[in-house]
Amino acid sequence: MSDSQTQSSDQSGEERRGFEAEVAKLLRLMVDSVYSEREVFLRELISNAADACDKLRYEALTQPDLTRDDPDFAITVEVDKDAATIRVSDNGIGMNRTEMREHLGTIAKSGTEAFAKQLTGDAAKDVSLIGQFGVGFYASFMVADRVRVISRRAGEQAAQEWESDGHGDYAIRNAERAGRGTDVILHLKDDAREFLDTTKLDDIVRTYSGHIPVPVTIREAGAEDAASVSQGTALWTRPKGDIADEEYTEFYRHVGGGFDEPAWTIHYKAEGMIEYTVLLFVPSMRPMDLFDPARKPRVKLYVRRVYITDDTAELLPGWLRFLRGVIDSEDLPLNISREMLQNNPVVRRMRKAITNKALTELERLADKQPETFAKIWEQFGPVLKEGLYEDADRREQLLKLARFRTTKRDGWVSLADYVAAMKDKQSAIYYVTGEDEAAVARQPQLEGFKARDVEVLLLSDPVDDFWLQVATDFEGKPFKSITRGGSDLKDLGDAPAGDDAEPVADDKLDALIARLKAALGDTVTDVRRSDRLTETPACLVADDAGMDLHLERMLKAHQQMAQAMPKVLEINPGHAMVRAMAEAAGKGDAPILEDAAWLLFDQARVLEGETPDDPAAFSRRLSRLITQGLA
C-alpha cells in the first residue's frame, strides 16, 4: 500500500497508510545492523522530547497561553513490567494528525530517497550512514515489536494515536490525552525485557542524556515516587573543567543527530560588550546534508537558554556548515525573528567573532595536533575551501590552513611546506585540477614536472577551479596551472633523457609543426614543442589567456558554455611517434601524415577525458594506419 492509499473508519477516525519504501528498508536495517547498540533508542526518544519542549518554549514567547496551565517542562520515562512497556512522555509542543504523518511516516521530507539510495546491505557501511543521518524515532523498533504514539498539539483539543509494528504500514486514529505533549509507548520484544530494569534505564539516561536541558525522571507504573535522573541544566552553561569527554560526546550526538564522536570541540564564553556562549563540534564523519545546495549551518541558537532556531545562516558562513552545536546569546531579544537576525548589529559582531574564533582554533589544532587536523581536512577540506572563493577578508588565513595532495609527498601538504621545498629558480606554485585524485595524477602534462622533480598540487575538488580564479598567489608566489600557457620548465633544468628519447632535429620539427598546423587548421590555436612531456606523444593546453581545461569541461557539462575553445597542441620531440611523423613529413607523405595528425590530436583529447569530435572519421583513420602498418 502506498502512502497515498488510506483506509478510514468513521467511528474512530482511523486511517491506515503504508510506509514509504525507503522507511521500510531503514526499519529492517535498524533491526539487522544496529542491534548491538540498541540502548540508544532511549537517547533518541529523550532527545526528541527535549526538542519538543524547546519548540514549545519558543512558540510560547509570542503565545504565552500555550504554557500558562503547565509552565514547567519535564520528561518522564515510565516502566510497566507487567505489560512489558516503556512510556516516554513529555509536555512539549505535541503533534496533530498531519504532523504525525509527516514526522512518523517519513524519515525526512527532503532526504528520505537520497538516504535510501546509499543503503547497500553492507552492515558496516550502512551503520555509518545511519550514524551520519540520525535515526531518531525509528530506533524504537530495535527493542519494540509494536510502537504507539499518543500526542496532542499545544493549543488544540484533539489528540491522535499513531501505531505500527514497523513492517509495512501504520495507523492513525483519534485518541484522548489530558494535556499537551507526546507519549511514546514501546511494547518490548521478548529479548529486550532487560530494559524494564529501572536501574539500567537510569544508567542509560545518565550516560546518554544527562546534558538534556529538560528534567528527566524515571518511575515504575503505579508508583508515586519518581527518581530524578537529570536536572535539566544546559551543558554549555557549565565550566569546561567540569565536563567529561563522554558528556561532550553525548551532547554532540544530541545536537548533531549522529552516532560518531566529535573530532574537535570548541567551547568558550565571550564577555564584554556582547556576551554569548559557544559550544561547537567538528564531526568525525561527514553529515549527510553536507553538500545540500542550501548550504545552511546546523547550529542551534538560544537566547538566555531559550531555543530560538537552528537556521543560523546569519551566525556562521556557509563554508563552516559542517559545525554542530549551540550558540547562546545574552543580548539578543527573545522574540527575534529571522528577518531581525539578518539585520541585527549584535548578530553581525557575533558572526565575525565566532568565525574568527573557529579559524583560530583550527589553526591551533593544525599546529599542535597535525594528525587530528589532517583527518578533519580529509572530511571537510572541500567545504572550507569554499571560503577561499567567498571570503576575501579571511582568504590568507584559509590559505595557510589549507592542505593539498602533491606529486612528491604522501599525505597532506600545506602551502608553507610547498614553498619551503620549491626548487631554485622556481617562482610559481604549480597545480593541476581534475575530476578525482586518480584522474588528476594521470594527467600527461605532469610528466615534465615529475622528471625535473618539481612538485605539483593535485586538486580534485569541484571548488578548486573557482577559488583559484580569485586567490592568485600565496605569500607572493603565484598559482600557475600546468595545463595553461607556457610551462617555464626550461628555467628549472633539462629533463633526464630516456634511452630512445633522441629528439627530432629542430629543422625537421619545424617542418612537422607546419604540416600539423596545415592539417588541423582552426581546430587548434597553435602547435608547438612541449617541455611538459617525457612519455606521451602529445597533449593539449590552454593558451595564456584561455580557460583552464578542467574548468572549461565543468562549465560545458553544466551548459554554461556552448562549445569548447580551441587549444594549443604540444608535441613531444623525443617520442617515437613524433619522430616517425617528422620522417614522413620529410618524405612528403601527405595522406599518411594527415591521418596521423588527426589521430595525434584525438589521442590528446582522449587523454583529457574527452571523445573525438567525429568518431567515424577517427575509426577510418585508425583502420587505414593499422592496415598500412600490417601490410
Is 387 annotated as contributing to ligand binding? no
Is 338 annotated as contributing to ligand binding? yes
Is 182 annotated as contributing to ligand binding? yes
SS3 (DSSP) at 411: coil
Per-residue confidence (pLDDT) for residue 588, from 0 to 100: 73
Is 136 annotated as contributing to ligand binding? yes
Closest CA relative to residue 3, chosen from 96, 113, 89, 83: 113
Is 134 annotated as contributing to ligand binding? yes
Is 132 annotated as contributing to ligand binding? yes
Task: Identify any residues that bridge with 403 across adjacent strands, giving them in sequence order.
Answer: 414
**In this structure, what are the phi and psi dihedrals at residue 10, rounded to the nearest 5 degrees?**
-65, -35
Is 133 annotated as contributing to ligand binding? yes
Fold of 385-492: Rossmann fold (3.40.50)
Is 498 annotated as contributing to ligand binding? no
Largest interatomic CA distance in the chain: 106
Is 230 annotated as contributing to ligand binding? no
Strand duo 216-220 + 75-80: pairing: parallel
451 Cα distance to chain centroid? 36
Range(s) within the chain of domains with CATH label 3.30.565.10: 7-233
Range(s) within the chain of domains with CATH label 3.30.230.80: 236-370
Q: Give the sign of the dihedral formed by CA 395, CA 400, CA 402, CA 404.
A: positive
The residues near 246 (Cβ < 8 Å, ≥ 6 apart) are 207
Range(s) within the chain of domains with CATH label 3.40.50.11260: 385-492
Per-residue confidence (pLDDT) for residue 460, from 0 to 100: 93
Is 109 annotated as contributing to ligand binding? yes
Per-residue confidence (pLDDT) for residue 130, from 0 to 100: 39
Domain 236-370 sits in CATH 3.30.230.80: yes
Per-residue confidence (pLDDT) for residue 626, from 0 to 100: 87
Whole-number Å distance between alpha carbons of 579 and 596: 12
Domain 506-533+565-630 sits in CATH 1.20.120.790: yes
Structure confidence by residue, pLDDT tens digits, 29-41: 655 554 456 787 8
Is 488 annotated as contributing to ligand binding? no
Is 517 annotated as contributing to ligand binding? no
Closest CA relative to residue 366, chosen from 263, 468, 459, 285: 263
Closest CA relative to residue 315, chosen from 56, 365, 323, 376: 323
Range(s) within the chain of domains with CATH label 1.20.120.790: 506-533+565-630
CATH architecture of the region 7-233: 2-Layer Sandwich (3.30)
- Amino acid sitting at position 244: A
Per-residue confidence (pLDDT) for residue 381, from 0 to 100: 97
Is 110 annotated as contributing to ligand binding? yes
User: What is the DSSP code (8-state) at residue 101?
Assistant: H
SS3 (DSSP) at 542: strand
pLDDT under 50 in the chain at which residues? 1-5, 34-35, 107-116, 118-119, 123-134
